[in-house]
Amino acid sequence: MSSLKVTFGILATGLMLSGCMQATTYEATNTQNFKPRDKDLLSKVSYVKTPVAEPFRRAIVEYHRKESPGSIVVDSDNHYLYWVMDGGKAIRYGITVGEEAMAWSGIAKIGSMTEWPAWHPTPSEISRLGVPTFVAPGPDNPMGSRAMYLYSGGKDTLFRIHGTNQPEYIGASISSGCIRMTNEDAIDLYNRVKVGTIVVVLEPKHGDSPYNSRLALQGGSNSSF
pTM of structure? 0.80
User: What pLDDT is attached to residue 83?
Assistant: 97
User: Looking at the domain assignment, is residue 224 inside a domain?
Assistant: no
User: Looking at the domain assignment, is residue 106 inside a domain?
Assistant: yes
User: Looking at the domain assignment, is residue 99 inside a domain?
Assistant: yes
User: Looking at the domain assignment, is residue 222 inside a domain?
Assistant: no
User: What pLDDT is attached to residue 213?
Assistant: 37
Number of domains in the chain: 1
Whether 201 and 60 have beta carbons less than 8 Å apart is answered as: no
Catalytic residues: 162, 178
Regions of the chain short of the pLDDT cut 50: 1-23, 210-225
Q: Residue 130 belongs to what H/E stretch? A: none
Residue 138: CATH number of its domain: 2.40.440.10
User: What pLDDT is attached to residue 138?
Assistant: 93
User: Looking at the domain assignment, is residue 223 inside a domain?
Assistant: no
Please give the full DSSP string across 50-98, using - where no structure is assigned.
PPPPGGGS-EEEE--S-PPTT-EEEEGGGTEEEEE-STTEEEEEE-BEE
User: Looking at the domain assignment, is residue 75 inside a domain?
Assistant: yes
User: What pLDDT is attached to residue 41?
Assistant: 97
User: What pLDDT is attached to residue 208?
Assistant: 62
Q: Where are the beta strands (DSSP E) in the chain?
A: 25-26, 59-62, 72-75, 80-84, 89-94, 97-98, 106-115, 146-152, 155-162, 173-175, 179-180, 198-201
User: What pLDDT is attached to residue 100?
Assistant: 65
Q: Residue 9 belongs to what H/E stretch? A: helix 2-18
Domain with 135, as residue range(s), is 2-217
User: Looking at the domain assignment, is residue 123 inside a domain?
Assistant: yes
User: What pLDDT is attached to residue 102?
Assistant: 62
User: What pLDDT is attached to residue 90?
Assistant: 96
User: Looking at the domain assignment, is residue 120 inside a domain?
Assistant: yes
